[in-house]
Structure 1
C-alpha cells in the first residue's frame, strides 16, 4: 500500500523489509552490522505478516525473536491464548 494518513507503522515496517531485501536500509539509517541470513529471514517473515498482526513483531531484532513472539501469541494455550 502507498503511504497515507492512517498507515504509517505498517507502511514503515514493509518499507524497511523491502529496503533490507535490496541491501538499501543502511542508506536511510545508521545500523549495526546485520547478519545477512538473519536479515533475509526477517524480511520473509515481515512480508508474510498482515498489517494487523505486525504488532506482534514490535521490538524483535532478529528473525528468531520474531518467530518466538509469533509463537507466543499464536500458540498460547492459556486462557488468553489466541488459537
Structure 2
C-alpha cells in the first residue's frame, strides 16, 4: 500500500550554524538534526517505522547531493 508522506522540517539557520563557546561540543550537523527529528516523529507515531527507512535514506541522499557526492543510488519517488 502506497501512501503520500508529507514531512515538514523547520530548521533555524542560526541554531544550525552556532558553535558553543565550550569548543563546539554541542554542534550537530544538519543531517543528524533531521534524523533525530525523524526518530522523534516515529516515536510519537506520526510516521510509521516502515516509512522511516525510506525517509532516512532520502535524507542521506539529499545530504550527499548537497555536499557534491551525487546520489546515494536511490531512484524513484514517494
Query: Which TM-score applies when normalising by structure 2?
Result: 0.33
Structure having the higher helix fraction is 1
Query: Which TM-score applies when normalising by structure 1?
Result: 0.32
